[in-house]
Amino acid sequence: MARRRLRDFLPKGLYWRTLLIIVAPAALLQLIITIVFLDDHWQATSKRMSQAVASDVALLIQLYEQSPTPQRFAELQRYAWQPLRLEIERLPGAGLEEARCRASGSVLDRYLTRALKEELAREVWYDSTCPGNQVKIRVPTQDGVWRVRAYRDRVQARSGPLFTMWVSGATVFLCIVSIIFIRNQVRPIEMLSAAMAKFGRGDEESGLYKARGAREVRAATIAFFDMRARIRRHIEQRTQLLAGVSHDLRTPLTRLKLQFAMMQATPEIEEAKRDVADMEETISEYLAFSKGQWAEDMAEADIAAIAEDVALAARRGGADIEFIGEGPMLALVRASALKRCIGNLVDNAAAHGERVRVSARTTSDAFLVEVEDNGPGIPDDLHEDAFRPFSRLDETRTKNAKGVGLGLAIARDVARAHGGDIVLAKSGDGGLKAILRLPRRA
């Protein structure tokens, strides 16, 4: 198995990458500060405090063992409580150890235990696991065991947990602020991307989208608005120009057809009539290609039903065509444009093959319409060339005597306007297979 690189585990989206860039260094810095503080300050301070308590306990025991009397012990009890804040109790005949509240205590317990052993040169017992604000110390003496209770703030520094809590709280607060801030910064980019995708499909805007976000995002949005306006003006101008050209050419063609109809029928006149008919068909294809998909609104339609209607129409026209469907395929489409797209694919297949098969099926993420024929096909290296406007590929598709090479170009234009595409492949019957793929939207 190939070795996986670090970038394979990194998030792919801009939102999570930006959040990682901000939060990861901050959290790492907080962790380093916490570790350094705990090691250099908290533990060192706790060690010095434990040594001070051990010295106090050792002094009290030494003073008592110089004169081990009840009066001496009572006097030391008063000194232990004020000002040392220690409670001492003498337990004659008791053992050194007693039951602990929990099995294990703090990692800092070893500091006090070690300090007591060094100061007293004897075994001690220490327990900090019981609830409350005191710890227990048991030390053997000449006439029994002393039980000493010391307040925790004399043994352990209390600033460590407080510092850790503040650092953790600051990290959580930083993460929350970063999430809110980055969400607000990434949102305009997502909206711009959605607007671009919507414009690419030719959808009409449902609401007014304004430039927002950071300066660079606003600049990109304004540039997109300008580009969109220029493209729309260009499409409108192209459509108007070709519509005007079509109208201007149809008038003399109509006069020619009328004159030919009034002339005596001859082989030359019949050829001229066919030329006029070809010119009319060419003009119609030019106009269909120029209009694009901008004049029709999106509406829910059954893609399978559209493909079946096209197949039936081709069958009535004399084509040997088979349709295979798997049920309804409802989607928001431009029905007329999509019908023209599938019709161009079917006409292209029927013009070059004896048999045509049209199938419509649904996958997990797309609707597929496949048109196959048993004709001569197209070499793999010429598949993309077939989609170029006015491309004829007569060398390989010798039966293509009609049209000007706009059928596949118009079909792909319609597919891409719906967010999909058309690709060519080799048919199972040896001819050409055109695959129309339209994405499924949630």
Helix-helix angle 159-201:407-417, to 10 degrees = 150
pLDDT digit string (tens) for the chain, length 442 residues: 445 666 666 676 677 777 777 777 877 877 777 777 666 666 677 777 777 888 888 888 888 888 888 888 888 888 888 888 888 888 888 888 888 877 776 666 777 777 777 777 788 888 888 887 888 888 888 888 888 888 877 776 666 666 677 777 877 887 788 788 888 878 888 888 888 877 776 666 655 567 777 788 888 888 888 888 888 787 777 777 767 777 777 778 788 888 878 888 788 888 888 888 877 777 776 666 555 555 567 788 999 999 999 999 889 888 889 999 888 899 888 888 889 899 989 988 988 888 999 999 999 889 999 999 988 888 888 888 888 876 666 554 444 445 556 788 888 888 888 888 999 999 888 889 999 999 887 5
Nearest-angstrom CA–CA distance, 358 and 73:
107
Q: Is 278 helix (H, G, I), strand (E, B) or coil?
A: helix
Output phi, psi for 208, to 5 deg: -85, 120
Q: pTM of the entire structure?
A: 0.53
| CA neighbor of 415 nearest in space, from 432, 439, 399 | 439
With beta carbons less than 8 A apart as the criterion, state whether 356 and 319 touch. Answer: yes
> Strand order of the sheet with strand 421-426?
320-325, 355-362, 366-373, 432-439, 421-426
- Domains (ranges, CATH) in the chain? 14-161 (3.30.450.300), 236-289 (1.10.287.130), 295-439 (3.30.565.10)
Quick one: pLDDT at residue 396? 46
Neighbours of 243 (CB within 10 A): 14
Nearest-angstrom CA–CA distance, 225 and 219:
10
Q: Which two tokens stand for residue 110?
A: 């070893």
Quick one: pLDDT at residue 346? 92
Burial of 151 (0-12, 13-18, 19+ CB in 10 A): middle
With beta carbons less than 8 A apart as the criterion, state whether 127 and 100 touch. Answer: yes
Quick one: pLDDT at residue 317? 84
Quick one: pLDDT at residue 292? 53
3 state SS for 136-161: EEEEEECCEEEEEEEEHHHHCCCHHH
Which residues are bridge partners to 358 per DSSP? 323, 371
Which stretches of 38-158 are DSSP H helices? 43-66, 70-81, 109-120, 152-155
Which residues are bridge partners to 434 per DSSP? 371, 424
